[in-house]
Amino acid sequence: MIGARGRVTGTVGPGLVGEVLLSVRGGVEAFYAYPVDPDERIETGTQVLVVDFEQPRTVYVQRWQPLV
């Protein structure tokens, strides 16, 4: 999971349990999501990068930053 890129489908932010869709085993699955920066709010539709994963379905994410 760590290093995967996904899309926010439920706002991720302080006091919220967000949701992101990630590609897994040839399909797409939903995961509970929290921001790495506890003060950051990430809106629906934003691309994110998974930086931490907790079993069974929780990820910690930050906004995707293209290198170019």
pLDDT tens sequence across 18-44: 999 999 999 999 999 999 999 999 999
**58 — pLDDT class (breaks 50, 70, 90):** very high
Mean pLDDT of the chain: 95
Contact 62, 51 (CB under 8 A): yes
Q: Which domains does the chain have, with CATH numbers?
A: 5-63 (2.40.50.140)
Residue 64 predicted with pLDDT over 90: yes
Task: Note the pLDDT of residue 66.
Answer: 85
Taking the C-alpha atoms of residue 47 and residue 30, their distance in angstroms, rounded to an integer, is 14
Say what the pLDDT of residue 3 is: 95
58-63 and 27-35 beta bridge pairing? parallel
- Give the confidence band of 1 by pLDDT, cuts at 50, 70, 90: confident
